[in-house]
Amino acid sequence: MSRPLARAVALAAPCLLLLAAPAYPQDPPAAAGDQAALELDGKIIADAQKTSEIMKNLGYLSDVIGPRLTGSANLKRANEWGAEVMKRYGLSNVHLEPWEIPVGWERGTATMKLIEPDNGRTLMVAAAGWTPGTNGKIVSDVVVINARTKADLEKYKGKLKNAVILRGEPQKIAPITDLSYPIGGPRKKDNAKAGDGKDQPRKEEAKEAARDQKKGDEKAPERKGGGRAGMGFGDLAVQRELAQFLRDEGAAVMLRDSGKPYELLNMTGSWRSQNPMAKDGGGDRANAPEPMPSLFITHEHYALLYRLATRPEPARTKVEVEITAKFIPGPITVYNTVGEIPGEKADEFVVVGAHLDSWDLGQGTTDNGTGSCVVLETARLLARTGVKPKRTIRFVLFTGEEEGLHGSRQYVARHKDEMPKTSVALVHDTGTGKVLGFGLQGREAIKPIMDKELVSLKNVGFNGVSLRSMGGTDHLSFEQAGVPGFACEQDMDEYRLTHHTQADTFDKAKEPNLIQGAQVMAVTALRVANLPDLLPRDRPKGAGAPGGFRRGGAEVKKDDPNRNDGKKEDPKKEPVVIAPRVVRP
């Protein structure tokens, strides 16, 4: 080919390609209002990256204040500190909202050592929350209960006096290298995909164990072993009968497999209630059955005792155990910390929340100091914009979450007249991982709205919203009242290892991920606050509803004990308070 011809072809080629290219529809130019919103999104995102105060706040909360057990002086100090931070950031109407728990609890000591066989082994244990002590040292036989029904318990009559009880086989623990798994085994493939359809780790996967050990520690019937309700007592009434059977037989202590690797302990518990479905969240404690002393033991030591206790006769397994714990007579006043950025429509709300309370084996950094400080950072970022939102954005640091979502339930009850005008509640509560999306609890009408509003967040690693229904934290209190309540779907990022353990410490926090979480929360809260209308509340029957929460993309049946609701309510009715989860002895 001659050089002039080649040059002519080269010049013509781009034109030919343009003519041959398919005519894909182009996005229309952004309207002036849309462009202004996108620019504001960008300003918030950039400001979060440049001026973050998350780690400063999280360091103070973790290292100076420390763990924040509900009803403790540390939690009250954290409430007051949170209020001071809100005031410093320029929030309005900053205050503490009181509510009560029936009794407080202080951890003492818990010790256990192997007496028979006498090999000098000391076992690593921790008293479950709100467990009574043992009134001194006791020496007990270790007995494994393998039963599937109430009738199966008959063979244990007369054999449990002063015994230490193991409830079934040890849990199946995922490899330490697999951080995407929930405690207890590999996660099930999730068919409910978020945003761009990628199969990402989800909040509920990390909360799998929390659904068993948090807000009531109830057992999913399909889960095997674990030293909890592994023998099949899924029905709550039967669980109560089991607890009464153990009390009647004079059993001394319940041992619970922590379900975590490398000698990590776990924790849960709550105050006892005569009526677990009482709307006040407590019932009459004076008449409630006295719980058995209960210990969490490391998975490795639970497995050791199980192997020893299941040896053929005449081998026996004995331990020496002592628990000291102190109950603080109640009622005890605890608080939610509240502040807000007033909107043009002062009586319409967007709630941004996280729980401030924690367990006390570690510092409570990733559960949930991270979420609390993301909420404070969200407030700081939005206040710095100087923009008055269309609706009031209210920031709430809930308490009593670890014992059964009590603080958020009390918030919903206290503000029941505002629930019809609360557009959404956004909750951050899965540690230090990036926010990948929000689960919309099956609310299909909201998805296209959120897809359109949150386009700016794709640049920070936000995959999008899904219809996924999620449990395990304070958004459920709003869902029960008919308000859209969305929990952040987060990357697991070691949450399996830090959740409720002595490893929940400040060094596990990852600043870039928490900055990203604040970017997501701030943009989402302001976008929803500025919508023309409140978010729609309709959804397909049973999808994420109080009568049928979904777990891992599959609906939880109405008789599943892992449901977070107390009773089915029509969301169109007056908001009600969620009945508390029941804590086994």
Instruction: List residues with catalytic annotation.
Output: 401
DSSP 59-83: HIIIIII----TTSHHHHHHHHHHH
Which amino acid type is present at position 185? G
Which amino acid type is present at position 37? A
CB 167 within 8 A of CB 231: yes
Q: How far apart, in whole angstroms, are the C-alpha atoms of residue 344 and residue 348?
A: 9
Token output for 111: 């010790």
Token output for 208: 């799998």
CB 338 within 8 A of CB 161: no
Q: Residue for token digits 């929340």?
A: 353
Q: How far apart, in whole angstroms, are the C-alpha atoms of residue 271 and residue 403?
A: 8
Residues 6+ apart with CB under 8 A from 92: 339, 340, 341, 342
How many other CB atoms are found less than 10 A from the CB of residue 278?
15
Q: How far apart, in whole angstroms, are the C-alpha atoms of residue 415 and residue 204?
A: 28
Closest CA to 260 of 308, 305, 206: 206
CB 530 within 8 A of CB 393: no
Tell me, what DSSP letter sits at residue 366? I
CB 266 within 8 A of CB 175: no
Residues 398-420 as b/e (b if ≥16 CB within 10 A, e otherwise) read bbbbbbbbbbbbbbbbebeebbe
Residues 6+ apart with CB under 8 A from 352: 375, 378, 379, 393, 394, 395, 396, 425, 426, 521, 525
Q: How far apart, in whole angstroms, are the C-alpha atoms of residue 207 and residue 495?
A: 9
H or E segment to which residue 328 belongs: strand 318-341
Closest CA to 34 of 521, 454, 522: 454
Q: How far apart, in whole angstroms, are the C-alpha atoms of residue 229 and residue 433?
A: 30
